[in-house]
Amino acid sequence: MTEYLKIEHVCKTFGKGESRSEVLRDISLDVAKGEYLAIIGHSGCGKSTLLNIVAGLTEASSGYVFLEGREVHQPGPDRAVVFQNHSLLPWLTVYDNVRLAVDKIFRGRKSTAERHDWTLRNLELVHMTHAMKKRPGEISGGMKQRVGIARALAMSPKVLLLDEPFGALDALTRAHLQEEVMKIHAELNNTVLMITHDVDEAVLLSDRIVMMTNGPAAQIGEVHRVELSRPRNRLDLIANAGYIESRARVLEFLHKKSHYVEAA
């Protein structure tokens, strides 16, 4: 396993004095290039805070994040975020939302025509070229999230950070988008860090699942490697022993063990 993204002894406390609250305690994690890693935990356990620290949007109280051996201090397009609520700019069209990112990152490196093609290429990846002239207000929640993914992919990030990307979607749309993310991951071999609270989603998509204990002062409880060959098919997996076992391990942790580690 080559060292790619490295999180070292990261702690995070908010506030000072009486109102001080410890959110993350001593988180260390290595993510290999091309790996799909899910971080799962109960809501409020600080998993989004961890993602924000990797993104550079939140500063760690102590500890470091390294990407390809370089310390991460601030946000940047090498760690593109797909936000839970899509965060598209409502005054720009679907195309312009993606193009904004493309223009900002590839200006000077790609010609105008190349930037146009690259924008289209990423919209094609998420099957959104048909609505590229529409504004975010005119498309469905699932479509917005696709555009959010296209925008992140268009940055050619070293790590793709997904913050509960499908959390706000209905079950069918969610399943559909999960399939597409799997396809994209298979095609581009991105390194992905995904926050989720959905056990099935974590098992279906990830190579490894990092289980977080409950906050305050959340830690990494267990790390489980999902030994399932790709491409994975949702329906085939229902009766797959490996799938059932992985699912059971994560569920067991979330319902039984997430408290023990805290007490220890």
Partner 1 sequence: MRKTPAWVHALRARAIHVAGIVLPPVVMLALLGVVWEFLCSSPDATLPPPSKVVTDTWELITQPFYDNGGNDKGLFWHLLASLKRVALGYTFAATGGIALGVLIGSSKWAMRALDPLFQVLRTIPPLAWLPLSLAAFRDGQPSAIFVIFITAIWPIIINTAVGVRNIAQDYRNVAKVLRLNGAEFFTTIMLPAAAPYIFTGLRIGIGLSWLAIVAAEMLIGGVGIGFFIWDAWNSSLISDIILALVYVGIIGFLLDRLVALAGKFIGRGTVSV
Min separation Cβ 167 and partner 1, Å: 15
- CB of 144 within 8 A of CB of 136? yes
Min separation Cβ 114 and partner 1, Å: 18
Cα dist from 205 to 66, 95, 171, 208, whole Å: 24, 28, 15, 9
Enumerate binding residues for partner 1 (CB under 8 A).
55-57, 74-77, 79-81, 83, 85, 87, 89-91, 100-101, 104-105, 135, 137, 155
Min separation Cβ 74 and partner 1, Å: 8
Distance of alpha carbon 100 from alpha carbon 181, whole angstroms: 22
Nearer to partner 1, 86 or 249 (CB): 86
Give the distance, in angstroms, between the CA of residue 147 and the centroid of all CA atoms in the same chain. Answer: 15
Distance of alpha carbon 10 from alpha carbon 53, whole angstroms: 9
Min separation Cβ 194 and partner 1, Å: 16
Nearer to partner 1, 90 or 231 (CB): 90
Nearer to partner 1, 66 or 83 (CB): 83
Min separation Cβ 52 and partner 1, Å: 9
Nearer to partner 1, 121 or 135 (CB): 135
Instruction: Say which residue the tokens 């409502």 belong to.
Output: 90
Rg of the chain taking only CA atoms, in angstroms:
19
Give the distance, in angstroms, between the CA of residue 145 and the centroid of all CA atoms in the same chain. Answer: 13
Distance of alpha carbon 264 from alpha carbon 261, whole angstroms: 5
Nearer to partner 1, 65 or 81 (CB): 81
